[in-house]
Amino acid sequence: MDPEQRTRLAQLRDFFLARRAQDLARACTALSGGRTAPEPGSTYWDHAEFAFNKLFVGPVALQAPPYASAYLSTESRLMGEATLTARKIYEMAGLTSPLQGSLPDDHLGVELDAALGLSTMAEGLDAEAPRALWDYFLQAHLLAWIPQFIDKARRAEAGHPAVDLALGHLETWLDHQTIKEEGMTP
């Protein structure tokens, strides 16, 4: 993964782990290379936050839950097998979520953070193990649910340009990984 892709990943992580409008403004400004027009503090970001919460946080029933388990369980629920798969992968990489047990390990923001760590690790060492782990996480996990998530978020009633921006970058990042993976296939 080139450095630009890695930076993108960190920006997307920050977006999906955002707690409030300022966090969204910061993440989106970074995603657009500093070119986002509305100043942080403007109502634009309040509206972004309202949409973000309707889609991903609550308190309303989530329009696009940002949790792998919501897509990979037979019946949508959280803390399912996909959550534990994510947790096991983190553990194998020597990582753990500081909020384990309270925030499901397969929250999109957490997974993007793990992707950053795992991909860096895989490329930084000439060894099979970290590459195999990253490859598994990407192929069997991230690519198995994030496209569904993006689709669901795009079809949702709530929406905002800031969310579209992040979803677009997320999709591009995923495409990039897919192409790269396909390129590697003999």
Partner 1 sequence: MTQWKKTDIEQAMDCPMTRRRFMKWMTAAGVTAAMPCGFLVPGKAEAGIVYEGGYETFRNACPRNCYDTCGVVTYVKDGVIKFVEGAPESTFTRGGLCVKGNAYLRKQYSPDRIKYPMVQQGRGSGNWKRISWDEALTRISEKFIEMNEKDGSMLGLAMTKYSGNFGITNYGVEGMFSSLGYTTRMVGTPCWPAGIDAQNYDMGNMWCNDPEDMVKARYVILWGVNPAWCSVHTMKYIYEARQRGAKIVCIDPVLTQTAAKADEYWQINTSEDGALALGMARHILDKGLVDQDWVTQNAVGFDEFAGYLRSEVTVEWASKKSGIPAERITRVAEEFAAADPATIWIGYGMQRHVNGGASVRSIDALVAMTGNVGKPGGGARYGHLQTWGFNYHAMVQQPPEGAKGYLGPAAKGEFDFTEDSKGPAYANRTLNINKTARELLDATDPPVRALWVSCKNPLSQDFDRNLLIEAFKKMEMVVVVDQFFNQTVEQADIVLPVTTLFEEWTVNASYWHYWLSINEQAVKPLYEAKSNIEIAAALSKKMNELKPGSCTFPADIDTKEWMAKEFNKGVYDLFGIDSWEALKNGPKKARTNRLAWGDGKFGTPSGKYEFKSELCAEHGFNALPEYVASRKPYDKLRLLTPHTKFGLHSQFINLDWMEDFNPRPYVYIHPDTARARSIADGDRVRVKNKTGEVLITASLTDNVPPDAIMMYEAWFKNNPYNCQNLVDDTSADMGAYKAGAPGVAIHDQFADLVKA
What's the CA gap between 14 and 101, in Å, rounded?
21
CA 60, 66, 67, 69 dihedral sign is positive
- Nearest CA-CA partner of 106 in 89, 126, 121, 93: 89
Q: Please give the residues from 100 up to 139 whose contact with partner 1 meets the rule CB under 8 A.
A: 100-104, 109-110, 113-114, 116-117, 120-121, 125, 127-130, 132-133, 135-136, 139
Helix (H, G, I), strand (E, B) or coil at 28: helix
180 binds partner 1 (CB under 8 A): no
What's the CA gap between 2 and 70, in Å, rounded?
30
What's the CA gap between 105 and 53, in Å, rounded?
19
Confirm if 15 and 28 have CB atoms less than 8 A apart: yes
Question: Measured from the CB of residue 32, what is the shortest distance to partner 1 in angstroms?
Answer: 20
Q: Please give the residues from 52 up to 71 whose contact with partner 1 meets the rule CB under 8 A.
A: 53-54, 57-62, 65, 67, 70
Q: Among residues 22, 39, 41, 46, which is the contact residue for partner 1, using CB under 8 A?
A: 46
155 binds partner 1 (CB under 8 A): no
Site for partner 1, rule CB under 8 A: 6, 10, 13-14, 17, 19-21, 46, 49-50, 53-54, 57-62, 65, 67, 70, 75-80, 83-85, 87-88, 90-98, 100-104, 109-110, 113-114, 116-117, 120-121, 125, 127-130, 132-133, 135-136, 139-140
